Amino acid sequence: MSDVLSPAPETQQPLPPVKKPKKSKETEVGRSGVMTWVWNTIALLVAVVMAFPIYWMVLTTFKTNKDLISQNPTFWPSTFSLDSYKTIFDDKDFLPSLQNTVLLTLGAVVLGVAVGFLAAVAVARFNFRGRNFFIVTMLVVQMVPLMAILIPLFVLMNEINMTGTIVGVILAYLVFTVPYVIWTLRSFIVNIPSELDEAAMVDGCTQWGAFFRIILPLTMPGLVTTAVYSWIQAWNEFIVVKTLMATNGKNTSMTWLTFYSSTPTRAADYGSQMAGGLLVSLPVIILFVFFQKKVSAGLTAGAVKG
């Protein structure tokens, strides 16, 4: 951290102001060329510091036991070994918990996006009593800490005998998916000019036709965005699972990871812990990196023009 801290303050006074007005353009370009390399070096250093934990995690998974227990860790493994991954796949709870995670996440995403989308259309396209109240509520509700309502959720699920079931957790996840989906999709739908669906209806589209042919396709980027976000949230969540489900012996990948790492016999086996951590976060990493561009893509761009 310290090597990030120390060079960085220089960024604030990059151009000595006194000399500047006198210099001609060429010298300024030349000097800023030198400066650019200074900044480049510092920025690359930042990148190295930021990337190092990930590099170390990946590297650890390929190290042999001999390398791992060494007091002088090597920055490159002497031999590549896949033993850590083998240990993980040999763990009898790993694949079942992964399966639970997939079911849970799919359920939470599909249900959350479906319910949220309907409400978002209502909020974005209709004027009705209590509309503003509803919008503000969605924003407020997103901010309620999940941890704070965990206890009443547990009590409630216990009363209706839903603890230890995937459905119970899916329902609990709607707490954070639905308000987020409504809030985010609302701005996507509001930005679709209503002239578009009006024009479609003037041209003979039915209400539902206009919905399926205009609103739905144009909301697609928004749906993808919210689905991806909800997916990541649901995949990474583990406190709710630990409280509502894992007490009955059912795990998701994340809770499996916490149990696996805190088993006394495993506590020092960082090779397999890192391999486990990497494997359970891989789906999220792939999704995240893959959709990053789409998320920021403009949405109605071209729809009106074209």
Partner 1 sequence: MSVTTDETVTRSENQGPAPVKKLQRRGVFAGGQYIPYTLLLPAVIVLLGVLVYPIYRLFDLAFQNVNKFAYLKHPEKAKYIGLDGFDKILHDDTFWEVILRSIYFTAELVILSMVLSMLIALLLNRVSNWVRVTVFTVMMFVWAIPALVNGQVFRWLFASNGGVVDYVAYLITGDETWKNYDWFADPTVGLYVVGAAVVIWGALPFLVLGLYAALTQVPKELMEAAKLDGANGLQAFFHVTIPVIRPFLMISAALSFIWDFQVFAQIYALRNSSPESGYQTIGTYLYMEGIVPSRYSDASVISIIMIIMMLAALVFYIRQMLKIGANER
- Residue 145 as a binder of partner 1 (CB under 8 A): the answer is yes
DSSP 213: I
d(CA 138, CA 180): 7
Among 102, 103, 110, 150, binds partner 1 (CB under 8 A): 150
Place of tokens 């996840």: 173
Element (H, E) at 33: helix 25-61
Q: Kindly identify the residues of this chain, within the stretch 97-136, that bind partner 1 according to CB under 8 A.
A: 114-116, 118-119, 121-123, 125-128, 131, 134-136
Contact flags string 186-205 toward partner 1, x per CB under 8 A: -x--xx--------xxxxxx
- Residue 280 as a binder of partner 1 (CB under 8 A): the answer is yes
Q: Kindly identify the residues of this chain, within the stretch 210-229, that bind partner 1 according to CB under 8 A.
A: 213-214
d(CA 296, CA 301): 12
- Residue 73 as a binder of partner 1 (CB under 8 A): the answer is yes
- Residue 289 as a binder of partner 1 (CB under 8 A): the answer is yes
Q: At what angle do helices 94-125 and 253-262 cross, to 10 degrees?
A: 140
d(CA 267, CA 280): 18
Among 64, 165, 258, 300, binds partner 1 (CB under 8 A): 258
Among 143, 161, 301, 302, binds partner 1 (CB under 8 A): 143
CB 240, CB 173: distance < 8 Å: yes
Closest CA to 169 of 143, 146, 141: 146
Q: Find the part of the chain contacting partner 1 (CB under 8 A) among 77-85, 88-96, 218-226, 274-282.
A: 274-282
Q: Find the part of the chain contacting partner 1 (CB under 8 A) among 22-30, 82-90, 102-110, 182-190.
A: 182-190
- Distance in Å, CB of 80 to partner 1, minimum: 18
- Distance in Å, CB of 220 to partner 1, minimum: 16
Among 246, 257, 272, 275, binds partner 1 (CB under 8 A): 257
Among 225, 254, 256, 275, binds partner 1 (CB under 8 A): 254
Measured from the CB atom, the residue of 46 and 224 that comes closer to partner 1 is: 46
Among 31, 102, 221, 261, binds partner 1 (CB under 8 A): 261
- Residue 31 as a binder of partner 1 (CB under 8 A): the answer is no
- Residue 273 as a binder of partner 1 (CB under 8 A): the answer is yes
- Distance in Å, CB of 116 to partner 1, minimum: 7
Among 19, 29, 30, 50, binds partner 1 (CB under 8 A): 50
Place of tokens 């070096």: 41
Closest CA to 287 of 223, 231, 219: 231
Measured from the CB atom, the residue of 1 and 301 that comes closer to partner 1 is: 1
d(CA 136, CA 114): 20
Instruction: Return the number of other C-beta atoms located less than 10 Å from residue 175's C-beta.
Output: 18
Q: 123 phi and psi, to 5 degrees? A: -70, -35
Instruction: Return the number of other C-beta atoms located less than 10 Å from residue 296's C-beta.
Output: 9
- Residue 156 as a binder of partner 1 (CB under 8 A): the answer is yes
Closest CA to 189 of 214, 171, 168, 154: 214
Closest CA to 185 of 115, 286, 107, 288: 115
